[in-house]
Amino acid sequence: MTKHLRWVLLAAALMLVLTACAAGANPATDVPSSEGEVAGFWLGLWQGIIVPITFIISLFSDTVGIYEVHNNGGWYDFGFVIGASVFLGGSGAGAKGARR
């Protein structure tokens, strides 16, 4: 086996493994929730902010999840990531370092 062929096979195997980790479509968005609406940006933002507390509760309760499955997709995800970064300190302020 040539060196070039090994790299191609390794890259193909790596892509196969990484695509197995990709998120799929959310079939719950087509099903109406008990309130009649899907979670949007603002609920995603709120749930991102409270994610550490919700995670601890979810360890002891089967009825609490940290992520709303019944959401509208990208906007909910965007709000969730922003909210989680606000609470968990993901602003990048610590990356600039100390100046002398």
Sequence ranges of the domains in the chain: 37-90
If we measure between CA atoms, which residue out of 73, 97, 82, 84 comes closest to residue 50? Answer: 84
Share of the chain above pLDDT 70, in %: 67
Tokens (6 digits) for 22 = 């990709």
Q: Give the pLDDT confidence of 32-79 residue by residue, as tens digits.
A: 555 567 778 888 888 888 888 888 888 887 777 888 888 888 888 899
Predicted model pTM: 0.57
Dist. CA 91–CA 15, nearest whole Å: 30
